[in-house]
Structure 1
Amino acid sequence: MDSKVLYILILSGILNVGYCGVIKDKTEDPNTLIDIDGYLEKYGYMESRPPFETEEEILNSDAYRKTAIRKFQSFAGLDATGILNDATIDAMRKPRCGVKDIQTPEEVAQADRPLNFYAPGYKWPSKTITWRASRPTRKLSEATQRYAFENAFKYWSDVTPLKFEYTYGEPDIDIQFAVRDHGDGRYNAFDGKGGVLAHAYYPTNGDTHFDDEESWVFRKNEGTDIETVAAHEFGHALGLGHSSEPKSLMAPFYQGFNPDFKLHEDDIRGIQSLYGTKDGEITTTHAPTTTSSGNDVTPVSPTVCNMKFDAMTLGPDGFTYVFRNKTVYRLNNTGVVATMLSRHVYPGAPRSPGAAVYMDNTKNTFIFKGRRIWRYTGFQLDADYPITITDSNYPTRIHAAIAFKSTGSTAQQIYLFNDNSFWEFNPNTNSIVPGFPLTISGFWRGIPAGIEAAIQWTDGDIYFFKGDKYRRFDADRRTLTKGYPKDKAPAWLGSVCGSAPK
């Protein structure tokens, strides 16, 4: 067998894969290709290949590929021969969800032994979960869609203490129909009719998106059944990964509409391992074919109290906002008062921003990540943003930023920080002020290298965050305040972490 990257010519079209997306084969072009190595990498059976410079570097050995094929066959319920036979190719062509079947060893301790049900460790903190179809499709009536979604949720609420409530406000699970690139990144873009059908995110995001170019139907097989796809994706939104049980709803392959469908016992064990039975008891199984992932579900409070601050800024509403991954935490003087998706507060905001600042004289918020900048007026993204900075003096890795104002002054200056240096950024020209960078140690005495977030707060002092500690800096005297560093969580996140004065 040729040991180069392997492609198999098929008749029914190229297999498209996307994050947590249910997939169908394309049929428009009768002569297209499946990238077998790419498929095995995408779904966790082989390690992803790094960028290559020579042909030698792109070779995957026959033995390595055979092991990966054997793993896939085992997961798909086929004879685990390691031989790429017709049955294996047919299994790879099946409509399916694009989330990994096997996590890497760093993600799951038992990566080389696919589980039946798999719960990665994400769950909702409340047993009442709100939902809303904020952007429905026009291919079915809104009443039909609501009925389909209610039915899809009911599969899960029938076997757990979970309650799903429709809301006209900000939902936990936001359902949207969209096309092509819809703001989830280019690798998660929909690809038109016959490709990725839908995708969903784990808690506590939960957003579920459907490709609006599909032929959506309700309880039919002459198209794509919205209830069946929604029930699978809601499983992900509740915290379930894929199952190696082929009859399970959470198996990776789309199974079409079945009028007699019921949750498989494997689906039930999986969801009850997260939320308990209808009576609220958490269940486990001792069946030899089902094992836990080894990842304990972390309670919400410790997760918040131990989190890294990606960025921190005051907001135009007077609250303080802390960014972490896709989430933003709204803080007042006593601690956290709300937790939201950052893109629901700052539309289009990037995941894990490097820094953020608010300019109270212009009412602009700037979010920095790499060479890109997002600018908001109030909470609305300004036209033509985000922009990419081409100034060669601009730092490519920004860890923190402050909008600095001297006592008695109305002017503000934006300072950007990385490990050991800082720069002044001119927001009018989107460029670095001449004379920078300067060293942090030379100007901000007592502040360590590698700070992770910073803010000039409402009391006029500047606060620098690193790890689980923070330091208070007297802006006028340019000195570190005595008694610091202190633990950041009690002082900033409030009673959930044990309140303490700043």
Structure 2
Amino acid sequence: MDTGSGLIYLTATVVMFASPVTLAPMPDQYYRGVDWLSRYGYLSPPDPHAGKLQTKEGIEKAIRQMQRFAGLTETGELDADTLNLMSKPRCSLPDIVGTEDMLRKRKKRYALSGLRWGKKGLTWSLLNYPKLQSTLDPSLVKYLMYQALKVWSDNTNLQFSETGQANQADIKISFAHSIHDDGYPFDGKGGTLAHAFFPGDVDIAGDTHFDDEESWTYRDDRGTDLFTVAVHEFGHALGLSHSSSHPSIMQPYYSGPVGDENTYKLPMDDLQAIQTLYGVKVKRETTPPVGRPTPRRPERPKTPPPRVTAPPDPDAQARCEGGFDAVANIRGEVFFFKGSYFWRMQRTGSLVSFSPARITNFWMGLPHDTNKIDAVYERKTDNHIIFFIGSNYWIFKDTSVLPGYPRPLSEWRMRTQSGKQVDQVQSAFVWAHNGKTYLFSRGEFWRFTEGQGGTVPQPDAEYPKSVSLWKGVPSDPDDVISWGQEGYTYFFKGNSYWALKSGGLDEGVITPKSTAVDWMRCPAPAPTPSYKPRSGGGQCNCDVNTAPTFTAPSRLILVPLVILLQCVGQLI
């Protein structure tokens, strides 16, 4: 048995596509589709260093491969059925195991990870119970774990037994949130559902972790069905990869509860897969060892669990009320910082999770009591990430702080027009128009030409200048970013943002749009009723203002109505 691969892991990730599916993909749907194909193994990711681009033929080939795996009609296009399947909650384990030739030549539609347990008797232990979002009784949780394992042992020669010696169990089951010491932190409700480790000789092999911030339910489609996810995860813990067959519990997509746990039967594809690893079940009587009691089977509680009533979501309130401390474009993704937490938007325009992650759990090296980030940007010369907090700054390589930081902000040698030393940076970004770095503070901004070597540059000559040079935007923005293929510049203030065409300074009147709706996936405000008195009478006709709204991220890439671009680049 290959034990070196025991740390391959699985996560179930909700891919949040916000735009409605249409017969012809909109540009944002197309980009999301390409990102999806790269994420799940159908396309090799573009190489940012070599500038590799995906070809039209390669993308069409990948779409056909995905459609073949999913059992869809092979059109080679992002049609409605394909986009709908891409929008479903699913596991983040890639679908493709091996090369494309292996996929095409494979007779069976199920897939094996290449790992299996070298014994038939496996022990399991439930280390804790869900407590943050779920109302499930502990006895019901244990019962569902037992039933989910039994699904697999009923059809093989595997035998599962619960053990009270948790540290010695082959399959350790736990509910955790955020960082939980396995290297793969959860990201809150609505993101990663669970992950499991394939068989092996390492201690973590077979372990199965569920995100405690999910609303785990039983026979209630208003949350995530615990039994269904457990059966799927235990399949991975036993050595199964994803299946392209339908139906199959090992399909990548979570499609809701599978039904009664007492009568649920494995689909044929999953049955063949597990029996390939562990053999067909041999019916024979077993006699309990003398002197040892037969373990009592967990029983389903007599009282049904209460119906889940979703409490008010404090994360949604924090996310939707705006007022972000900093916004940054890092590796092509947009990070929104607020207090001690941040939200993360992928290149596709979808949030990684509606719930925020703690800043200091991601960028280890910032003060543990960090509760506000002033500004952040990614330095393009070496891709280092620079944080400004108060009168200090930190430089990170990926998520690790470089030695010798923090250092004083005074090293940047910024002075106001009145000659005072700047003690705080309020906004920072690299302008896609010219590749220069811009720092903002109290209505003024400084331009820097950063070179190789990582040394702190001095401000370019004739700076600072007034933010009022950027017409139609706030003079004291919360933050500024350049983002997207068009390189638009976005100014954020409160719960609004202003979009400027790449290279533009004065585009006339710029209408602010909602950060909550377009970026943070919050519902649009309720329409305001308008009252129109009927002519000749005291009654009114109360119409509702139904002006059309746009769904992000397509709204984020709208070409501004005013495209007059004044050639004023020399001013900045």
Q: TM-score, normalised to structure 1's length?
A: 0.48
- Of the two, which has the highest radius of gyration? 2
Task: Specify which structure has the higher proportion of strand.
Answer: 1
